[in-house]
């Protein structure tokens, strides 16, 4: 019997409903095809609504509070066990193409980072980089979102190999010359866009593995639609801003919410009380935006998704061409969600609405995973590592705290999760919140604070009515607080089984 291959495809900061299968305003024919050929999970969640913590959870099967990369600007330590190591031990080829973000862009003597400047842009270093990286025997990386100055590594090497000698023109200083204030239209030709690079290099690896007869665990990690809102022609004008439906903020909806919600809706908020060591929290700024500007931003955001979808299609087509589709588990998801006006918020931050902690998720495996199905079962990205191992008939390490979802994916059970946990930890005394979600309710608690959030997702799916201080729901809040405590106890890591009575 042939071994199962794993192809993980991820986007970055994609709202859960921005695929055509959910939203008729957006055109994603290839993701829609994947949904028709597999199962779409409409209640998938991230373990943290920022990049580094969730991406580290994907490869470790641990929550951010367990693997240690607890927020942006931290590092996943190299001695933490990753699922790629298990696949390599089982004889698989392992590779990551695109965004890693397991290390910060600043290096210190105590915490060195090869994803940092100036090493990030030392192309000779990356031409000769052959060592394993967090369980991936082969990586091809860059760090920039759209025209950011973090461009470098393998993407810059590829640009030069493709004849794009003026690639610095498309990125901002200190690497490039493009105006960092540019909006919406990105002058880079599509042939040099990083979506093109990711698809081309992913497909080259698929060809290599097929030729060599090797099984693989391969992660194609796209950067879009993470802001800034920039896309090359014609994708920047693919959608008419007037056709975009922006959510409306409900008058007074933040009156019962924690104070940082109300601060975010001020034009010039003072978040100084939340700062500790000079590193502010993502989202602690004004979220007030002109709605016409927001419509244009979202039109380009949709264009970025449609462009990415085109190149995801290239990868899916290559699987078919090589005869690998029937023996490959394909998973598409995103590392976290996105605000585009919901609750008057933009981008992301410590506001654990469904918009930012829920993610799109599609799973396809012909003959083993039902086609054309939509599942309401709770899924967490922390479950991916143990489920990948189970789907490839490998044992799951005892220390992984994610749940094996293989029996749900293959239709043996409707669900195996009773709850979701989502963490968000910044500086120790700045803001620290955790969210518990079950089939109906959502509870968010804050460290050393008496305020919190309680939403009834069945009767209030838009999360406009925070019930935390509602006396009629005091009993329910107490019950959910106890369930949250049980959930925290239940996720404790067990590095090894008990093998003796003494």
Per-residue pLDDT at 275? 77
In which residue are the tokens 């990083």 written?
A: 194
Can you give 48-88 as a three-state secondary structure string?
A: CCCHHHHHHHHHHCCCHHHHCCCCCCCCCCCCCCCHHHHHH
Per-residue pLDDT at 430? 78
Task: Return d(Cα 426, Cα 132) in angstroms, integer.
Answer: 29
Task: Return d(Cα 221, Cα 8) in angstroms, integer.
Answer: 8
In which residue are the tokens 């794993």 written?
A: 6
Domains of the chain (ranges; CATH) run 5-247+289-416 (3.40.720.10)
Per-residue pLDDT at 280? 75
Per-residue pLDDT at 429? 61
What tens-digit pLDDT sequence spans the chain (502 residues)?
589 999 999 999 999 999 999 899 999 999 999 999 999 999 999 999 999 999 999 999 999 999 999 999 999 999 999 999 999 999 999 999 999 999 999 999 999 999 999 999 999 999 999 999 999 999 999 999 999 999 999 999 999 999 999 999 999 999 999 999 999 999 999 999 999 999 999 999 999 999 999 999 999 999 999 999 999 999 999 999 999 999 988 999 999 999 999 999 999 999 988 876 667 788 999 999 999 999 999 999 999 999 999 999 999 999 999 999 999 999 999 999 999 999 999 999 999 999 999 999 999 999 999 999 999 999 999 999 999 999 999 999 999 999 999 999 999 999 999 999 999 998 666 789 999 999 999 999 999 999 999 999 999 999 999 999 999 999 999 999 999 999 999 999 888 889 999 8
Helix (H) or strand (E) holding 356: helix 354-357
What is the C-alpha radius of gyration for the chain, rounded to an integer number of angstroms? Answer: 22
Tokens of 254: 């933040």
Task: Return d(Cα 493, Cα 455) in angstroms, integer.
Answer: 29
Per-residue pLDDT at 278? 67
Task: Return d(Cα 121, Cα 249) in angstroms, integer.
Answer: 42
């Amino acid at each position: 019997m042939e071994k199962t291959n794993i192809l993980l495809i991820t986007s970055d900061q994609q709202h859960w409903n921005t695929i055509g299968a959910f939203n008729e305003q957006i055109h994603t024919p290839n993701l829609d095809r994947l949904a028709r050929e597999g199962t779409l999970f409409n209640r998938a969640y991230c373990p943290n609504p920022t990049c580094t913590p969730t991406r580290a959870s994907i490869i470790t099967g641990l929550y951010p509070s367990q693997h240690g990369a607890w927020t942006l600007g931290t590092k996943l330590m190299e001695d933490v066990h990753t699922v790629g190591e298990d696949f390599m031990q089982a004889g698989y080829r392992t590779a990551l193409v695109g965004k890693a973000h397991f290390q910060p862009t600043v290096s210190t003597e105590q915490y060195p980072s090869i994803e940092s400047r100036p090493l990030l842009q030392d192309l000779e270093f990356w031409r000769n980089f052959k060592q394993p990286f967090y369980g991936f025997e082969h990586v091809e990386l860059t760090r920039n979102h759209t025209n950011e100055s973090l461009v470098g590594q393998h993407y810059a090497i590829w640009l030069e190999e493709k004849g794009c000698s003026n690639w610095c023109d498309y990125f901002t200083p200190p690497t490039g010359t493009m105006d960092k204030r540019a909006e919406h239209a990105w002058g880079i030709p599509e042939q040099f866009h990083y979506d093109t690079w990711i698809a081309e290099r992913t497909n080259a690896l698929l060809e290599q593995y097929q030729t060599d007869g090797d099984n693989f665990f391969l992660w194609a990690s796209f950067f879009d639609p993470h802001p800034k809102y920039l896309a090359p022609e014609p994708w920047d004008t693919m959608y008419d801003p007037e056709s975009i439906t922006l959510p409306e903020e409900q008058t007074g909806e933040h009156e019962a919410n924690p104070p940082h919600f109300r601060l975010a809706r001020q034009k010039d908020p003072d978040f100084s009380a939340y700062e500790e060591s000079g590193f502010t929290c993502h989202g602690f700024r004004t979220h007030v935006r002109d709605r016409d500007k927001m419509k244009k931003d979202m039109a380009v955001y949709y264009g970025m998704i449609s462009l990415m979808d085109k190149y995801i299609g290239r990868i899916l087509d290559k699987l078919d061409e090589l005869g690998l589709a029937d023996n490959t588990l394909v998973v598409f998801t995103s590392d976290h969600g996105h605000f585009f006006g919901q609750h008057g918020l933009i981008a992301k931050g410590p506001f654990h609405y469904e918009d930012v902690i829920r993610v799109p998720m599609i799973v396809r495996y012909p003959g083993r995973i039902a086609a054309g199905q939509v599942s309401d079962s709770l899924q967490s990205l922390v479950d991916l590592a143990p489920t990948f191992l189970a789907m490839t008939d490998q044992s799951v390490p005892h220390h992984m705290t994610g749940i094996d979802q293989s029996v749900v994916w293959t239709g043996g059970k409707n669900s195996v999760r009773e709850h979701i946990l989502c963490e968000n930890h910044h500086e120790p005394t700045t803001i620290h919140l955790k969210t518990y979600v079950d089939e109906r309710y959502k509870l968010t608690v804050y460290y050393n604070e008496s305020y919190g959030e309680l939403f009834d997702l069945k009767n209030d799916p838009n999360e406009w009515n925070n019930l935390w201080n509602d006396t009629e729901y005091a009993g329910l809040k107490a019950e959910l607080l106890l369930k949250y405590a049980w959930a925290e106890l239940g996720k404790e890591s067990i590095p090894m089984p008990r093998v003796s009575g003494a």
